[in-house]
Amino acid sequence: MNTIKFKMHLSYESNDHQVRIIIDNLDFLGKDYLGIDPPSFFAQKNLFETGELLIGRCTCGCEGCRDYPVEVSLNKNTIIWSNSSGLKLEFDKFEYENAIRIAENDHS
C-alpha cells in the first residue's frame, strides 16, 4: 500500500500556488510537472469519486497544455490511482481522505 501527503508550495512559474503530491515520501510530480492550484485541485469531485483526477500541469503553468491526469477507482477500503502508462498506486481510504482534509486546511 502506498502512502500519500499533499504539500502546498508557491509556484513562481504560474504566479500562484500548487499542490505537490508526496507519495511514499517522494515528490511524485518531480520537476516534470507543476501541481494544480489548490482551489482547483480540491474542487475536483473525483478526489473522492471514480473518474479522472488532474494532479499535475505543464511547467508553463497552463492547465490543458501538458496535463497529468490519473483515473481514480474506489474499493471498500482503498483508493487506486492508475493511468494508461501502467501506473497503479493504492492508498488506504481512511489515510487518503485524512491527508486531503489536512491539506485542504493548509493555508500556509
- What is the pLDDT, as a whole number, of residue 43? 96
- What is the pLDDT, as a whole number, of residue 40? 94
Q: pLDDT (tens digit, 0 to 9) for every residue of the chain, 108 residues total? A: 999 999 999 988 888 899 999 999 999 999 999 999 999 999 999 999 999 999 999 998 888 889 999 999 999 999 999 999 999 999 999 999 999 999 998 876
- What is the pLDDT, as a whole number, of residue 106? 80
> In this structure, which amino acid lies at residue 99?
A
Which residues make Cβ contacts (< 8 Å) with residue 10, sequence separation at least 6? 17, 18
Q: According to the 3-state scheme, what is the secondary structure of the chain?
A: CECEEEEEEEECCCCEEEEEEEECCEECCCCCCEEECHHHHHCCHHHCCCEEEEEEECCCCCCCCCCEEEEEEECCCEEEEECCCCCEEEEEHHHHHHHHHHHHCCCC
Instruction: Quick: pLDDT tens for 57-75.
Output: 999 888 888 999 999 999 9
- What is the pLDDT, as a whole number, of residue 64? 84
